């Protein structure tokens, strides 16, 4: 088991708007249906005011066949049009549990070919050995860790801050 890394405390109120993109040195791991379906030390995270960081993993991090296309898309004013994917493993399916940007905006070009995953339907998601909590609500896909402080957007009444 990977031991959690000591962290500098980050306040989500200090994250920028428009959001920032930065590489992640930690090992990111996702478990679904009792299986590790993704693991990498080549992820990015997006930091946006009042949001928990959203982690984007390269396609190579995912087990073969885990990401399956599904219907639906949405638009982010900063990153572009997102397409959704189901996650399938061990006879289980998490509908629209992952998303990606086929043609991200220039500021987010590095996440082309990378995929974000909602933590809530997964068995567990880890950043540097620490198990994350899903960002509140069912709209945002951030991962809350012990080094994140401040009011995290997503709970009822917070979506229009």
* Token digits of residue 74: 């949405």
Q: Tell me the pTM.
A: 0.94
Query: How far apart, in Å, are the Cα atoms of 28 and each of 44, 81, 129, 161?
Result: 10, 24, 8, 29
CATH second-level architecture of 11-144? Beta Complex (2.170)
pLDDT at 158: 79
β-pairing, 10-11 vs 143-144, is unpaired
pLDDT at 7: 79
pLDDT at 157: 80
pLDDT at 156: 82
The residue with tokens 């920032």 is: 20
Largest distance between two CA atoms of the chain = 41
Question: Could you tell me the mean pLDDT of each successive run of 10 residues in the chain, 161 residues long?
Answer: 69 96 97 98 97 98 98 94 98 98 97 98 97 92 96 83 60
- Sign of the CA dihedral with 132 first, then 133, 135, and 139 last: positive
Question: What is the residue extent of each domain of the chain?
Answer: 11-144
- Sign of the CA dihedral with 113 first, then 81, 64, and 136 last: positive
pLDDT at 132: 98
pLDDT at 155: 83
């Amino acid at each position: 088991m990977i031991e959690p890394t000591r962290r500098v405390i980050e306040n989500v109120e200090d994250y920028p708007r428009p959001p920032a993109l930065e590489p992640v040195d930690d090992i990111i791991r996702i478990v679904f249906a009792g299986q590790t379906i993704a693991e990498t030390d080549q992820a990015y995270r997006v930091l946006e005011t009042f949001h928990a960081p959203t982690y984007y993993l390269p396609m190579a991090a995912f087990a073969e066949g885990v990401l399956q296309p599904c219907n639906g898309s949405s638009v982010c004013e900063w990153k572009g049009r997102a397409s959704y994917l189901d996650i399938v493993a061990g006879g289980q399916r998490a509908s629209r549990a992952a998303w990606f940007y086929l043609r991200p905006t220039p500021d987010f070009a590095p996440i082309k070919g990378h995929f974000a995953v909602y933590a809530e339907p997964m068995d567990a998601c880890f950043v540097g050995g620490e198990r994350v909590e899903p960002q509140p609500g069912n709209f945002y896909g951030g991962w809350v860790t012990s080094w994140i402080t401040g009011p995290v957007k997503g709970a009822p009444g917070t979506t229009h801050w």
